[in-house]
Structure 1
């Protein structure tokens, strides 16, 4: 039996925490379950083969979509616009659980839009975060230091006591299976 409305899993984490890898892992494992959907983000940066699978838009295209109500959640970070399409509203209304790649800073706004939101924090130790950021070869040392500082400053666990924290310090499969269990157990417990 389907629930009347789906649940919104809002996934957040510092850059380098492995959020994209974890989302890709879960998407592949759950791809044949029609009651779970992973929303693609709309981002004003070009698509790349080694990054997030997103819909690339120009700034103008992005703003047209915002003005026309086609993007339900949107924020800016690192010089780009990020958004989640309004299609998730119909998915949720039809009992489909939706997984969104979110922003820590946008979480309070997202929670106002979706009061039943399920925040999920992908967490890593500072040592692992530093190693991953260095390994990406995308940022210089100052940018890496700024990202690590930023990860320390944003404490969502105090503001959101119901947040589910997944540690991603070890193998991707460990965190991935915990994430999959979180999504599927929530569905099973409410569909009984």
Structure 2
């Protein structure tokens, strides 16, 4: 399991979309669509929309391998991903830094790709989304970053510049991690 983390506006979804296109020939690499309590047409990541009530029921029934709540939404990685990993697939999922310990407990071969971008870039991207006020954006960008659990394999991709270049580096990294895992 490769979990992609980073601040809002770093471009995680864009990089994952580019990598999914670049790596479409690789049937062993699967990009997971997480379930989110947000409308399907809300913009941003391609996700499976789920109501808050459905989210709670799915969580209670063990339908998520990992789930967490952030920014007023629930996020879940479907439980069948556990079997996909056991079957030898390399999965790539958009995660959360605050849920990494839970990911590590479920997926013992976890790798983390931390996507970063400079402050000005984050502010510009969040402003372009139009979902928050300028004050909310500054508060989001300036809040303390959660520390990552000790012992995880963490790679970093800076997405402050050209998206196609960062996308190429991201796809190459995903492919290298998958290949290392396949070799055991």
Q: Same fold (TM over 0.5)?
A: yes
Q: Check the 8 A contact 2:67/2:74 in 1, yes or no.
A: yes
> CA distance change for structure 1 residues 108 and 31 in 2, over 3 Å: closer, same or farther?
same
Cα deviations by residue, 1:111-162 (Å, 9 ceiling, x for unpaired): 1222321011000111211111122211101210121122x43243x84663
TM-score (norm 2): 0.92
Separation in 1, partners of 2:158, 2:79: 30
What is the CA distance between 1:191 and its match in structure 2?
Answer: 3.9
**Which structure 2 residues correspond to residues 47-126 of structure 1 after superposition, within 5 A?**
47-48=40-41, 50-126=43-119
Structure 2 runs not aligned, ≥5 long: none
Cα deviations by residue, 1:26-69 (Å, 9 ceiling, x for unpaired): 11111231101011111111111632111111111111111221
**Which structure 2 residues correspond to residues 7-86 of structure 1 after superposition, within 5 A?**
8-48=1-41, 50-86=43-79
Separation in 1, partners of 2:102, 2:120: 31
Deviates more, 1:120-129 or 1:106-115: 106-115
What is the CA distance between 1:83 and its match in structure 2?
Answer: 0.3
Task: Give the SS at the match of 1:50.
Answer: coil
Task: Give the SS at the match of 1:163.
Answer: strand
What is the CA distance between 1:105 and its match in structure 2?
Answer: 0.9
Structure 2 residue 156 is matched with structure 1 residue 153: no
> CA distance change for structure 1 residues 149 and 162 in 2, over 3 Å: closer, same or farther?
same
What is the CA distance between 1:187 and its match in structure 2?
Answer: 2.9
Separation in 2, partners of 1:188, 1:18: 24
Of 136, 145, 157, 1:166 maps to 157
Separation in 2, partners of 1:21, 1:108: 25
Separation in 1, partners of 2:87, 2:120: 42
User: What is the aligned length?
Assistant: 183
What is the alpha-carbon root mean square deviation over aligned residues?
1.7
Separation in 2, partners of 1:91, 1:60: 27
TM-score (norm 1): 0.88
Of 132, 141, 144, 2:137 maps to 144
